[in-house]
Every structure is written in C-alpha cells, then in structure tokens.
Amino acid sequence: MNGSPALVLDGVSRHFGGLRAVDGVSLTVGAGERHALIGPNGAGKTTLFHLISGELAPTAGRIALFGADVTRLAPHRRAALGIARTFQITKLFPGLTVLENVLLACEALDARKLVMHRRADAYGDLDARARALLERFGLSGLARELARNLSYGDQRKLEVALSMAGRPRLLLLDEPMAGLSAGESRSMHDLLDRLDRSIAVLLIEHDMDVAFAFAERVTVLHQGRVLVQGDRDAVSANRAVQDIYLGTEPVRDLGSGAEG
C-alpha cells in the first residue's frame, strides 16, 4: 500500500429516502496532503465524513483508505488502518481528567487492551505517550483537571489530541474552529499547522479564510455534489464558488465537479 493515496472516494452517494445528502462524490486526498472541504450549510460535508469513517454506509460508490477498499468495513476496522476524526460537538469523557481522557484514547488501539491480568506498570509507555501528547497540545498544566472544567477552546484542543493518540495517517477534522474566540482560533490554527506533515488532513471549515490558509487543495460541496475542486488559488477564483459564498446569484449548473 506504499505510495497509495490516503483516501479515494469514487462516486460515493448517500440517500435518505428521496433526499440525496451526498450525490456521486469523487475525491482523492494524497498522503500528507492538507485538503479542505467547504460548502454552505446542508451541503453534505458532515454526512460525507460519516461515510468516510464508517458511521454510515454509502448507498452507492466506493471508499478506499491507503489503497484498501473499506466501503463495507466497520468504523473500528477503519480506525485500525489509520484514520481518526473529530466532531462538530466535542466527544469527551467529562467526568475524567484530561490525562485520563488521553490515556483511554491511547489504549483504544493498543493490542494489549485484550490481554487480561497484565501488570499496570506494563503500560508505562502509554502514559508517556499520553503526557507527550498533552505537552504537544499545550495541555500539560491541565492534566489533572476534569475535562468538563476546561474552557471550550481547550476542550477542542483535547479532542484533537485524542484523535492523534492512535497515530493516524488520515485525520478528519470537522469544524475544529467552530465556537472559538479569535484568540482560540489562532491557537488552534497554529496547532494544526504543526501537525506532522506525514499525516493527511481533510478539514471541514465554514470560514473560507481559514480553509484557504490551511489547505493546499479544496473541494466545494453544494447540495451534496462536488461543485469544483482543485488547488486553493483556482478554487478561490472560481465564479460559482464566489456566487455561493457572496450570494451574488444562485448556482444553476453544478457541472461535473471537474478540477478548478
């Protein structure tokens, strides 16, 4: 699987009765690529994330991770291949400390979790890895704090730290800046910029400035279909994209989703 793209979607659709939430989406994210997925509310972005991570099954189409067809694979099997994600609403264990949250995430993909009656000190490397993640994400001083007591910005940082615990090769970030103050957004942007460049990142973001500052390539969804995709300069200059975001006129023809 060496040299394979991190993610390939080939004509992926998801229908809910008569509603085509995702409609024939094709998309490739290369190894180590920074790719933004943008579009107005209801465009199908989060539904597409659910399809990629395995929480929803596609109505049609094919999904491949690192060269392997995972279209019918369960979410935990996909995670084992090296995919991780965050959510629009943080999913933490509020009654556990920051360190305990990260330790659980580190243990989740460790084979030793299946070994019974193992000495506690046999997991020292996981503790060291959890503390290293807290250091990397600027949360070391909050290690003993309950997750529920963190500021919203620090909760978002903790969720990204949890997603990194399994050493993913593809990271799906669902609006990591949502609800953050200007200062928190800058801090999160700096944090994401420092992610290992070997990790491919697919980012959902409503703020176009943030999306285009982060990503090398951009895909625009509209009404469940790919409107345009390509390098960020070409996409930002695309008239149809400007129409959607600036509201200058309705988009009448979605075209074929060709490169911008």
Q: Are residues 143 and 200 in the same domain?
A: no
User: Is residue 170 exposed (0-12), middle (13-18) or buried (19+ Cβ within 10 Å)?
Assistant: buried
Q: What's the pTM value of the predicted model, to 2 decimals?
A: 0.85
Residue positions counted in the chain: 260
Give the whole-number percent of the chain exceeding pLDDT 70: 86
Are residue 229 and residue 252 in the same domain, yes or no?
yes
Rg, Å, the chain Cα set: 19
- Domain housing 104: 94-166
Establish if 88 belongs to a structural domain: no
Distance, CA of 134 to chain centre: 19
Final residue of a domain: which of 166, 194, 216? 166
Q: What is the pLDDT of residues 227-255, one digit of tens each?
A: 999 999 999 889 888 887 755 544 444 34
Same domain, 138 and 258: no
Co-location of 76 and 3 in the same domain = yes
| pLDDT, position 2 | 52
**Residue 4 covered by a domain:** yes
CB atoms within 10 A of CB 209: 9
How many structural domains comprise the chain?
2
Between 99-103, 206-210, 235-239, 249-253, the lowest mean confidence (pLDDT) is in 249-253
Looking at the structure, tell me whether residues 114 and 147 fall in a common domain: yes
Residue 16 pairs in a beta bridge with: 19
Neighbours of 4 (CB within 10 A): 14
Q: For residues 129 and 136, what is the distance between their CA atoms, to the nearest angstrom?
A: 10
Rounded Cα–Cα distance for residues 77 and 74 (Å):
5
Q: Give me the mean pLDDT over the 123-149 stretch.
A: 91
pLDDT band at 114, cuts 50/70/90?
very low
Is residue 124 within 8 A of residue 130, CB to CB? The reply is no
Same domain, 156 and 182: no
Mean of pLDDT values over 36-54: 94
**Within this chain, do residues 173 and 76 fall inside the same structural domain, yes or no?**
yes
pLDDT for 163-204, tens place per residue?
Answer: 998 889 999 999 998 888 889 888 898 999 999 999 999 999
Q: Sign of the C-alpha dihedral, residues 157, 162, 167, 173?
A: negative
Averaged pLDDT for residues 109-132: 62
Q: Please identify, among 136, 166, 196, the residue that sits at the C-terminal boundary of a domain.
A: 166
Give the end of a domain, one of 151, 166, 181.
166
Are 134 and 232 members of one domain?
A: no
pLDDT of 132 over the 60 cut: yes
Asked whether residue 89 is domain-assigned, the answer is no
Tell whether 75 and 174 lie within a shared domain.
yes
| Residues 36, 212 contacting (CB under 8 angstroms) | yes
pLDDT of 139 higher than 60: yes
Whether residues 73 and 111 fall in one domain: no
Look at residue 34 and tell me if it is in a domain: yes
Q: Report which residue type is found at 156.
A: R
DSSP character string of 88-147: SS----TTSBHHHHHHHHHHHT-GGGG-SS--GGGGHHHHHHHHHHHHHTT-GGGTTSBG
Which CATH number do you get for residue 66?
3.40.50.300
Is 229 among the domain residues?
yes
In a domain, residue 206? The reply is: yes
Whether 108 has a pLDDT exceeding 60, the answer reads yes
